[in-house]
Amino acid sequence: MSGFFITFEGSEGGGKTTQVSLLAAALRGRGHDVVETREPGGTPVGQTLRQLLLRPHTGPPTDRLVSPAELLLMLADRAQHIHEVILPGLHAGRIVLCDRYADSTTAYQGYGRGVDLAEIARLNAFVCGACRPQLTFVLDLPVAVGMQRAHERRGAAAVDHFEAASVAFHERVREGFLAIARAEPARVCLIDAAQPVEAVHAAVLAGVRKRGPALL
Protein backbone atom coordinates (compact mmCIF):
# COMPACT_ATOMS: atom_id res chain seq x y z
CA MET A 1 0.00 0.00 0.00
CA SER A 2 1.65 3.21 -1.07
CA GLY A 3 -0.94 5.80 -0.01
CA PHE A 4 -1.62 7.27 3.42
CA PHE A 5 -4.78 6.70 5.46
CA ILE A 6 -6.05 9.35 7.90
CA THR A 7 -9.30 9.15 9.86
CA PHE A 8 -11.28 11.83 11.70
CA GLU A 9 -13.27 10.75 14.73
CA GLY A 10 -15.30 12.27 17.54
CA SER A 11 -18.84 13.09 18.56
CA GLU A 12 -21.44 15.00 16.52
CA GLY A 13 -20.62 18.60 15.77
CA GLY A 14 -16.92 18.29 16.59
CA GLY A 15 -15.96 19.59 13.16
CA LYS A 16 -14.88 16.38 11.41
CA THR A 17 -16.45 17.22 8.06
CA THR A 18 -15.13 20.79 8.27
CA GLN A 19 -11.59 19.63 9.06
CA VAL A 20 -11.56 16.88 6.42
CA SER A 21 -12.21 19.44 3.72
CA LEU A 22 -9.66 21.93 5.11
CA LEU A 23 -6.96 19.26 5.29
CA ALA A 24 -7.88 17.98 1.81
CA ALA A 25 -7.43 21.49 0.43
CA ALA A 26 -4.07 21.89 2.19
CA LEU A 27 -2.82 18.56 0.88
CA ARG A 28 -4.05 19.26 -2.65
CA GLY A 29 -2.23 22.57 -2.45
CA ARG A 30 0.93 20.51 -1.97
CA GLY A 31 0.14 18.51 -5.09
CA HIS A 32 -1.22 15.38 -3.40
CA ASP A 33 -4.00 13.27 -4.80
CA VAL A 34 -6.62 13.15 -2.04
CA VAL A 35 -9.75 11.05 -1.56
CA GLU A 36 -12.36 12.52 0.83
CA THR A 37 -14.82 9.97 2.07
CA ARG A 38 -17.04 9.13 5.03
CA GLU A 39 -18.82 6.44 7.00
CA PRO A 40 -21.50 5.35 6.97
CA GLY A 41 -22.37 6.03 3.35
CA GLY A 42 -19.14 6.20 1.35
CA THR A 43 -20.47 3.89 -1.40
CA PRO A 44 -23.83 3.42 -3.18
CA VAL A 45 -24.62 0.38 -0.99
CA GLY A 46 -23.44 2.38 2.00
CA GLN A 47 -25.84 5.21 1.16
CA THR A 48 -28.74 2.78 1.54
CA LEU A 49 -27.29 1.51 4.81
CA ARG A 50 -26.77 5.09 6.03
CA GLN A 51 -30.44 5.90 5.50
CA LEU A 52 -31.39 2.85 7.50
CA LEU A 53 -28.89 3.62 10.25
CA LEU A 54 -29.59 7.33 10.68
CA ARG A 55 -33.34 7.60 10.06
CA PRO A 56 -35.21 9.17 12.95
CA HIS A 57 -37.17 6.64 15.00
CA THR A 58 -40.68 7.90 15.31
CA GLY A 59 -42.51 4.60 14.87
CA PRO A 60 -43.14 1.70 17.26
CA PRO A 61 -40.25 -0.02 19.11
CA THR A 62 -40.34 -2.88 16.59
CA ASP A 63 -39.23 -0.36 13.96
CA ARG A 64 -35.88 0.13 15.76
CA LEU A 65 -32.61 -1.54 15.00
CA VAL A 66 -31.43 -3.57 17.99
CA SER A 67 -27.80 -2.83 18.95
CA PRO A 68 -26.25 -5.94 17.31
CA ALA A 69 -28.14 -5.18 14.08
CA GLU A 70 -26.91 -1.58 14.15
CA LEU A 71 -23.37 -2.80 14.75
CA LEU A 72 -23.44 -5.30 11.90
CA LEU A 73 -24.89 -2.79 9.43
CA MET A 74 -22.11 -0.33 10.34
CA LEU A 75 -19.58 -3.08 9.69
CA ALA A 76 -21.27 -4.06 6.42
CA ASP A 77 -20.97 -0.42 5.34
CA ARG A 78 -17.27 -0.48 6.29
CA ALA A 79 -16.56 -3.72 4.41
CA GLN A 80 -18.08 -2.28 1.24
CA HIS A 81 -16.30 1.04 1.73
CA ILE A 82 -12.87 -0.56 2.22
CA HIS A 83 -13.35 -2.69 -0.89
CA GLU A 84 -14.70 0.03 -3.18
CA VAL A 85 -13.04 3.22 -2.00
CA ILE A 86 -10.35 3.04 0.68
CA LEU A 87 -8.11 0.24 -0.58
CA PRO A 88 -8.32 1.27 -4.25
CA GLY A 89 -7.38 4.82 -3.18
CA LEU A 90 -4.43 3.66 -1.09
CA HIS A 91 -3.23 1.24 -3.75
CA ALA A 92 -3.27 4.10 -6.26
CA GLY A 93 -0.98 6.06 -3.92
CA ARG A 94 -3.63 8.57 -2.80
CA ILE A 95 -4.10 10.11 0.62
CA VAL A 96 -7.45 8.86 1.92
CA LEU A 97 -9.23 11.10 4.45
CA CYS A 98 -12.13 9.33 6.09
CA ASP A 99 -14.82 11.05 8.17
CA ARG A 100 -15.48 8.36 10.85
CA TYR A 101 -14.11 4.81 10.74
CA ALA A 102 -13.58 1.88 13.11
CA ASP A 103 -13.13 4.00 16.25
CA SER A 104 -16.67 5.36 15.84
CA THR A 105 -17.97 1.78 16.05
CA THR A 106 -16.03 1.24 19.28
CA ALA A 107 -17.23 4.54 20.74
CA TYR A 108 -20.90 4.46 19.65
CA GLN A 109 -21.84 0.80 19.57
CA GLY A 110 -19.37 -0.20 22.32
CA TYR A 111 -19.16 2.63 24.86
CA GLY A 112 -22.50 4.17 23.84
CA ARG A 113 -24.76 1.17 23.31
CA GLY A 114 -22.89 -1.23 25.58
CA VAL A 115 -21.97 -3.94 23.07
CA ASP A 116 -19.01 -5.95 24.35
CA LEU A 117 -15.79 -4.12 23.45
CA ALA A 118 -13.77 -7.28 22.81
CA GLU A 119 -16.44 -8.45 20.35
CA ILE A 120 -16.32 -5.11 18.54
CA ALA A 121 -12.52 -5.25 18.38
CA ARG A 122 -12.75 -8.74 16.88
CA LEU A 123 -15.36 -7.70 14.30
CA ASN A 124 -13.50 -4.51 13.39
CA ALA A 125 -10.33 -6.56 12.89
CA PHE A 126 -12.23 -9.04 10.72
CA VAL A 127 -13.68 -6.30 8.52
CA CYS A 128 -10.66 -4.00 8.36
CA GLY A 129 -7.84 -6.54 8.08
CA ALA A 130 -4.71 -4.58 7.32
CA CYS A 131 -6.70 -1.49 6.31
CA ARG A 132 -5.94 0.52 9.45
CA PRO A 133 -5.38 4.28 9.61
CA GLN A 134 -1.80 5.46 10.03
CA LEU A 135 -3.10 8.59 11.74
CA THR A 136 -6.37 9.42 13.49
CA PHE A 137 -7.63 12.75 14.76
CA VAL A 138 -10.11 12.66 17.62
CA LEU A 139 -11.91 16.00 17.76
CA ASP A 140 -13.03 16.31 21.36
CA LEU A 141 -15.50 18.79 22.80
CA PRO A 142 -18.10 18.99 25.56
CA VAL A 143 -21.32 17.20 24.62
CA ALA A 144 -23.49 20.30 25.01
CA VAL A 145 -21.30 22.29 22.60
CA GLY A 146 -21.36 19.53 19.98
CA MET A 147 -25.12 19.17 20.21
CA GLN A 148 -25.59 22.91 19.89
CA ARG A 149 -23.39 23.02 16.76
CA ALA A 150 -25.17 20.03 15.22
CA HIS A 151 -28.51 21.69 16.01
CA GLU A 152 -27.48 24.98 14.35
CA ARG A 153 -26.12 23.20 11.30
CA ARG A 154 -29.22 21.08 10.86
CA GLY A 155 -31.62 24.01 10.58
CA ALA A 156 -35.11 22.73 9.79
CA ALA A 157 -34.00 19.17 8.86
CA ALA A 158 -35.10 16.24 11.04
CA VAL A 159 -32.89 15.17 13.98
CA ASP A 160 -31.12 11.93 13.06
CA HIS A 161 -31.17 8.79 15.18
CA PHE A 162 -27.82 9.36 16.92
CA GLU A 163 -28.32 13.08 17.42
CA ALA A 164 -31.61 12.31 19.20
CA ALA A 165 -29.93 10.01 21.73
CA SER A 166 -29.62 11.06 25.39
CA VAL A 167 -26.92 13.31 26.83
CA ALA A 168 -25.77 10.30 28.90
CA PHE A 169 -25.29 8.30 25.68
CA HIS A 170 -23.20 11.09 24.16
CA GLU A 171 -21.14 11.38 27.35
CA ARG A 172 -20.31 7.67 27.12
CA VAL A 173 -19.40 8.06 23.44
CA ARG A 174 -17.10 10.97 24.28
CA GLU A 175 -15.46 8.93 27.04
CA GLY A 176 -15.01 6.12 24.52
CA PHE A 177 -13.10 8.34 22.11
CA LEU A 178 -10.94 9.67 24.96
CA ALA A 179 -10.17 6.09 26.05
CA ILE A 180 -9.13 5.20 22.49
CA ALA A 181 -6.86 8.26 22.36
CA ARG A 182 -5.25 7.30 25.69
CA ALA A 183 -4.77 3.68 24.61
CA GLU A 184 -3.15 4.43 21.22
CA PRO A 185 -1.16 7.67 21.47
CA ALA A 186 1.12 6.70 18.58
CA ARG A 187 -1.81 6.62 16.15
CA VAL A 188 -4.33 8.98 17.70
CA CYS A 189 -3.90 12.73 17.93
CA LEU A 190 -6.40 14.25 20.38
CA ILE A 191 -7.48 17.80 19.56
CA ASP A 192 -9.53 20.27 21.60
CA ALA A 193 -12.33 20.91 19.11
CA ALA A 194 -13.88 23.71 21.16
CA GLN A 195 -11.23 26.01 19.66
CA PRO A 196 -12.02 28.12 16.57
CA VAL A 197 -11.98 26.33 13.20
CA GLU A 198 -8.59 27.80 12.22
CA ALA A 199 -6.96 26.72 15.49
CA VAL A 200 -8.28 23.18 15.07
CA HIS A 201 -7.00 23.17 11.48
CA ALA A 202 -3.56 24.32 12.67
CA ALA A 203 -3.51 21.46 15.19
CA VAL A 204 -4.45 19.01 12.42
CA LEU A 205 -1.63 20.31 10.21
CA ALA A 206 0.81 20.00 13.13
CA GLY A 207 -0.38 16.42 13.70
CA VAL A 208 0.16 15.52 10.03
CA ARG A 209 3.63 17.09 10.03
CA LYS A 210 4.57 15.21 13.18
CA ARG A 211 3.11 11.79 12.44
CA GLY A 212 2.83 11.59 8.67
CA PRO A 213 5.77 11.20 6.36
CA ALA A 214 6.69 14.36 4.48
CA LEU A 215 3.12 15.11 3.37
CA LEU A 216 3.12 18.82 4.14
Query: Of 11-19, 109-117, 133-141, 208-216, which part binds Mg ion (CB under 5 A)?
Result: 11-19
| Residue 17 interacts with Mg ion (CB under 5 A): yes or no | yes
Answer yes or no whether residue 67 interacts with Mg ion by CB under 5 A.
no
Give yes or no for residue 17 binding ligand ATP (CB under 6 A): yes
38 binds, among Mg ion, ligand ATP, none (CB under 5 to 8 A by kind): none
Residue 78: CB minimum distance to ligand ATP, A: 16
Q: Buried (b) or exposed (e) across 71-84, using 16+ Cβ within 10 A?
A: bebbbebbbbbbeb
Min CB(137)–ligand ATP separation in Å: 11
DSSP string, the chain: --SEEEEEE-STTSSHHHHHHHHHHHHHHTT--EEEEESS-SSHHHHHHHHHHHS---S-GGGSPPHHHHHHHHHHHHHHHIIIIIHHHHHTTPEEEEES-HHHIIIIIIIIT---HHHHHHHHHHHHTT---SEEEEEE--HHHHHHHHHHHHTTSPPPTTTTS-HHHHHHHHHHHHHHHHH-TTTEEEEETTS-HHHHHHHHHHHHHHHSSS--
Q: State how far the Cα of 155 lies from the Cα of 163, in Å rounded to an integer.
A: 13
Q: Tell me the closest approach of the beta carbon of residue 23 to ligand ATP, in angstroms.
A: 12
Question: Binder to ligand ATP among 102, 115, 131, 200 (CB under 6 A)?
Answer: 200
What is the signed CA dihedral for 103, 104, 108, 111, rounded to 10 degrees? 20
Q: Considering the rule CB under 6 A, would residue 37 count as an interface residue with ligand ATP?
A: no
> Least distance from C-beta 16 to Mg ion, angstroms?
5
Residue choice 5, 16, 42, 90 for contact with ligand ATP (CB under 6 A): 16
Q: How far apart are CA 58 and CA 36, in angstroms?
A: 32
Count of positions on this chain that bind ligand ATP (CB under 6 A): 16
State in angstroms the smallest separation of the CB of 123 from ligand ATP. Answer: 22
Q: Does 14 bind ligand ATP (CB under 6 A)?
A: yes
Interface residue with ligand ATP, options 69, 125, 158, 197 (CB under 6 A): 197
By a kind-dependent CB cut-off of 5 to 8 A, residue 40 interacts, out of ligand ATP, Mg ion, none, with: none
Residues of this chain, 125-184, that bind ligand ATP according to CB under 6 A = 149-150, 152-153
Residues that bind ligand ATP (CB under 6 A): 12-18, 149-150, 152-153, 193, 195-197, 200
Residues that bind Mg ion (CB under 5 A): 16-17
